[in-house]
A and B are shown apart, each in its own frame.
Chain A
Amino acid sequence: EDQVTQSPEALRLQEGESSSLNCSYTVSGLRGLFWYRQDPGKGPEFLFTLYSAGEEKEKERLKATLTKKESFLHITAPKPEDSATYLCAVQDNSNSGYALNFGKGTSLLVTP
């Protein structure tokens, strides 16, 4: 059973068209939820860490929020350079504490 489910799998937006990516998770005890951006052929780039429900973090056009069951990555007025795969990962109490359990990602394409 997947611990982390991301939706949609792929998203195409026009430049300036705001939207949200979803990350649903099922864990016994959440230690942290992480968002990364991954460009093709590159390693994931860290964006945010969220620790508790109600927490929000922002960086430029991106805003991450967290509830007890899911996290959203809101993209406001996206630009073509925001095109990438966005990965969500959780760290929970059920494993060694070091592993990040990743979703399969949302592939975002922003067209001019």
Chain B
Amino acid sequence: SQTIHQWPATLVQPVGSPLSLECTVEGTSNPNLYWYRQAAGRGLQLLFYSVGIGQISSEVPQNLSASRPQDRQFILSSKKLLLSDSGFYLCAWSVGTGFTDTQYFGPGTRLTVL
């Protein structure tokens, strides 16, 4: 069975500090990988998706970047955090062409920027 891991579970960072969140998937090959953010009072918003190693697509302009150094590893980064980067970050995976594929979510990382 497939398992998705995210770490850290919670993170408190000062404004202007760097960020690195990691997501790994087990039990599947060539997954599509996604980063979403869930802010208070708002729905989940897709930030990045990747269909393969080194292939990253950004859905919204922002202060964040993503990388996929290995098939089942997805990393979300920032060089300098802003207050508005606070939120609940969720990694998800799917298999297939991307169209109507079910996305399965990880446990999330709660990021607070002070």
Contacts and interface: CB of A to CB of B under 8 A. Distances in A.
Interface string B75-114: 0000000000000001010000111101111111010000
Interface residues of A, number: 27
A36 B57 CA distance: 24
Contacts of B49: 96, 98-99
Interface stretch (B12-20, B37-45, B63-71): B37-45
B43 A104 contact: yes
Contacts of B74: none
Interface in A36-66: 36, 41-46, 49, 51
Contacts of A98: 32, 34, 46, 49, 51, 57, 98
Interface in A85-101: 87, 89, 91, 95-101
Contacts of A49: 100, 102
A87 B57 contact: no
Interface of B: 6, 32, 34, 41-46, 49, 51, 57, 59, 90, 92, 97-100, 102-108, 110
